[in-house]
Amino acid sequence: MSEIKTAIVTGASSGIGYEICRMFLKENIKVYGLGRNFTNEITSDLFKPIKIDLTNINILCQKINEIKKENKNNINYLVNCAGVGYFGLHEHLNTKKIHEMTVINIEIPMILTQLLLRCLKNTNGHIINISSVTAKKSNTYGCAYGATKAALTSFSESLFDEVRKYGVKITSIHPDITKSNFYRNADFCQSEENDTFLTPCEIAKAVKFIINQRQEISVTDITIKPQKHKIQRKI
Ligand SMILES: NC(=O)c1ccc[n+]([C@@H]2O[C@H](COP(=O)([O-])OP(=O)(O)OC[C@H]3O[C@@H](n4cnc5c(N)ncnc54)[C@H](OP(=O)(O)O)[C@@H]3O)[C@@H](O)[C@H]2O)c1
């Protein structure tokens, strides 16, 4: 019997990250899921929820070192999915929001990558960064959020060039508007029409597609959009 693979997933407690965890578990992959509020239950012996605020970087490093030890440095997947978005005119953001987006959306993925890269080299592992379509375009009312996602995509591209010779794969996924709790801080959300939004399950399916490619190729970038573009203002 082949050995069970191990994944570390941030943002595991809701939306896209939660569905990625469920997909990994269906593929018989052990998952350490990081999040603060685990209200959606996952009942599987292979699921190890880690309740953590990612802004506590010292505690995060400690946890990751424990996971590495527990798994004898055999980690196969890192999925950086946790993310925060604040939208509106840039002059209306405050320093706390800008700081939070920068830490969660780009600093933590770079730190986790640094902590886990040696393990991933050992296993010919895979890093999947959940970026956004905003990484690839101009974003009025989301300049700072889009900038953090552009940084994540840029980091992924350069990192792939650095580590491809070691057999490590790096993928950035660029979803368009996806039905989740993500827009709780915004004055808009997805429209209710089926062809105007994606679902977290569809992003998880994209992850399943890329992890099941043959070892010798690497999918570096996926962009997924609903057929039509439409958002709605919250009343
Ligand atoms: N929804 C979209 O339209 C969309 C489109 C493109 C890209 N994305 C990206 O997709 C990713 C997932 O978003 P989603 O749509 O699934 O939204 P979501 O349901 O709001 O999920 C965000 C996740 O990030 C975690 N998180 C945020 N701050 C954290 C912190 N300080 N410590 C620990 N965990 C933290 C949340 O955990 P807790 O709730 O437990 O704190 C939650 O699990 C994000 O990176 C987002 O930028 C989303």
What's the whole-number mean pLDDT along residues 167-183? 97
Confidence of residue 2 (pLDDT cuts 50, 70, 90): low
pLDDT in tens, 86-144: 999 999 999 999 999 999 999 999 999 999 999 999 999 999 999 999 999 999 999 99
Distance from the alpha carbon of residue 10 to the mean position of ligand 1, in angstroms = 9
> Taking CB atoms and a 6 Å cutoff, what residues make up the pocket around ligand 1?
11, 13-17, 35-37, 53-55, 81-85, 104, 130, 132, 175, 177-178, 180-182, 200
Strand-pair partners of 171: 128
pLDDT of 131 reads: 98
pLDDT of 157 reads: 98
pLDDT of 113 reads: 98
Q: Helices in the chain by DSSP H: which ranges?
A: 15-26, 57-70, 95-102, 108-123, 143-163, 200-211
What are the two backbone dihedrals, phi and then psi, of residue 47, each rounded to the nearest 5 degrees? -100, 125
CATH number for region 6-233? 3.40.50.720
Report the distance separating Cα 22 and Cα 194, nearest Å: 23
pTM > 0.85: yes or no: yes
